[in-house]
């Protein structure tokens, strides 16, 4: 039997356009109740940073179908590239597949390639256990529900156990990707989606973050300088990260800029020049690039 090769989502975004905006939706009561700690957010930030990309927003949603559907519908209409984790199984507390279909106004259908992969996984499991594979057994038929995706969805390959996720293009030129909640499955699927669909927008080495540790300053005092820098350097973001108990610097403010390297360097030079009259004490400079 031939294997279907996943194709890139039909995303129409010129390479010279504004880079895609990335979002993350983590679904599951276990995160909101504290039974499990979310690991997806920090890892997804790392996956993006390795490719010169950045996360713009993230949301956590419990296992409430109306709320999940509303969140997915809002993400669909945003035109962003959105990754969703959790809730794509086939137990009563898994609602993401159904909510995605509702958010897109599409019926759920058994994806033929997902069916093949799920059956292949069940046959592998039976063989590993020394048991006969019985595809028509009720529990095996129920497992095929994991391949019920919104009509027209594209599968996301799962290298861990073959049970796929799915992806949908959105009307405004973005896409939404749906992966399991298990990091061992979700993280390779996230990386695959980025490398398959968005490699043309990777900008490794094209982002600079430069800051200085400021001692004894107050954010209210620094705000006019920050506003002046942002006004003089459109496209560069100015940030202020105060800390009261840092193990190395104690009470301080990490004050800096981030953006395209040449623009960020110019903005940082102005920041330091316009800070000079304030007669503040400074620690080391910190430089990060992606």
H helical segments located in 155-218: 183-197
Nearby residues of 175 by Cβ (< 8 Å), 6 or more positions away: 9, 11, 81, 82, 167, 168, 169, 197
**CATH 3.40.980.10 domain span(s) along the chain:** 22-201
Say if residues 210 and 234 touch (Cβ distance below 8 Å): no
- The three-class DSSP label of residue 148 is strand
Dig out the tokens for 84 from the structure. Answer: 């969703």
The answer as to CATH 3.40.980.10 being correct for domain 22-201 is yes
pLDDT in tens, the chain (290 residues): 333 333 444 444 444 456 799 999 999 999 999 999 999 999 999 999 889 899 999 999 999 999 999 999 999 999 999 999 999 999 999 999 999 999 999 999 999 999 999 999 999 999 999 999 998 999 999 999 999 999 999 999 999 999 999 999 999 899 999 999 999 999 999 999 999 999 998 876 677 899 999 998 888 889 999 999 999 999 899 999 999 888 888 899 999 999 888 999 999 999 999 999 998 999 999 998 77
> Quick one: which H or E segment has residue 143?
helix 138-143
CA–CA dist 189, 37 (Å, integer): 20
Q: Residue 43: which of 179, 242, 201, 167 has the closest Cα?
A: 179
Domain 208-289 sits in CATH 3.30.70.2860: yes
Cβ neighbours of residue 40 closer than 8 Å, sequence gap 6 or more? 24, 26, 85, 183, 186, 187
Question: CB–CB of 160/117 below 8 Å?
Answer: no
- In the DSSP assignment, the letter for residue 215 is E
Q: Give the three-state DSSP class for 110.
A: strand
Task: Quote the CA–CA distance of 244 and 251 in Å, as a whole number.
Answer: 4
Residues of the chain with CATH 3.30.70.2860: 208-289
**pLDDT recorded at residue 1:** 36
207 closest CA partner among 265, 136, 278, 124: 265
Q: Cα(150)–Cα(192) distance, rounded to whole angstroms?
A: 20
Look at residue 18 in the predicted model and tell me its pLDDT. Answer: 67
The CA distance from 211 to 237, in Å, is 12
CA distance 165 to 111: 11
């Amino acid at each position: 039997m031939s294997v279907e090769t996943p194709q890139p989502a039909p995303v129409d975004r010129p390479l010279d356009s504004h880079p895609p905006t990335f979002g993350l939706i983590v679904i599951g009561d276990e995160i909101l109740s504290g039974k499990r700690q979310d690991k997806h957010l920090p890892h997804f930030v790392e996956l993006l940073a390795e490719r010169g990309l950045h996360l713009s927003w993230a949301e956590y949603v419990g296992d409430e179908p109306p709320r999940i559907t509303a969140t997915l519908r809002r993400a669909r209409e945003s035109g962003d590239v959105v990754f969703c984790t959790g809730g794509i199984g086939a137990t009563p507390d898994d609602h993401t597949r159904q909510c995605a279909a509702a958010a897109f106004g599409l019926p759920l259908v058994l994806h033929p390639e997902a069916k093949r992969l799920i059956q292949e996984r069940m046959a592998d499991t039976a063989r590993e256990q020394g048991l006969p594979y019985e595809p028509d057994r009720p529990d095996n038929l129920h497992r095929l529900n994991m391949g019920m995706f919104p009509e027209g969805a594209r599968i996301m390959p799962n290298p861990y156990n073959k049970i796929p996720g799915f992806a949908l293009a959105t009307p405004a030129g973005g896409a939404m990707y749906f992966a399991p909640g298990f990091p061992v499955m979700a993280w390779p699927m996230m990386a695959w989606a980025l490398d398959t669909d968005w490699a043309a927008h990777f900008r490794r080495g094209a982002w600079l973050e430069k800051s200085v540790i400021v001692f004894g300053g107050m954010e209210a005092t620094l705000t006019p300088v920050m506003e002046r820098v942002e006004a003089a350097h459109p496209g560069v973001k100015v940030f202020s990260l105060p800390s009261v108990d840092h193990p190395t610097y104690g009470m301080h403010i990490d004050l800096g800029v981030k953006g395209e390297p040449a623009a960020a360097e110019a903005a940082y030079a102005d920041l330091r020049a316009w800070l000079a009259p304030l007669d503040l004490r400074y620690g080391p400079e910190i430089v990060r690039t992606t």
